[in-house]
Amino acid sequence: MSSNTFEEAVAATKKFTSKPSNEELLKLYGLYKQATEGDNETERPGGFDFKAAAKYNAWMNMKGKSKEEAADQYVQLVDQLSKTHT
């Protein structure tokens, strides 16, 4: 599966039969957002919305990566996760 495109990798995540760990899901989210939107320029969520804050931080951790680099890393992570979650 390592010759997947970004779009194929996104589709593959919907076929996972078991849920990746929260850490893996956050990494996927951060790479996806970086690949599709670039650097996070949004305002940090406030209050006690811990899920939104975790997602915000996951995306911020990718800051500076090119969209292409993030897409490549996303595909690699999906390929790796596919071995244990499909």
DSSP the chain: -TT--HHHHHHHHTT-SSPPPHHHHHHHHHHHHHHHH-S--SPPP-TT-HHHHHHHHHHHTTTT--HHHHHHHHHHHHHHHHHHH-
Amino acid at 66: S
pLDDT of residue 46: 85
pLDDT of residue 47: 83
Give the distance from CA 2 to its chain's centroid: 17
Residue-wise pLDDT tens digits, 59-68: 999 999 999 9
Q: Does domain 6-85 have CATH number 1.20.80.10?
A: yes
The mean pLDDT of 18-25, rounded to a whole number, is 96
Extents of the domains making up the chain? 6-85
Is residue 56 predicted with pLDDT exceeding 60? yes
Q: What's the predicted TM-score (pTM) here? A: 0.91
CA distances from 64 to 18, 59, 61, 80 (A): 31, 11, 9, 23
Q: What is the mean pLDDT of the chain?
A: 94
pLDDT of residue 4: 77
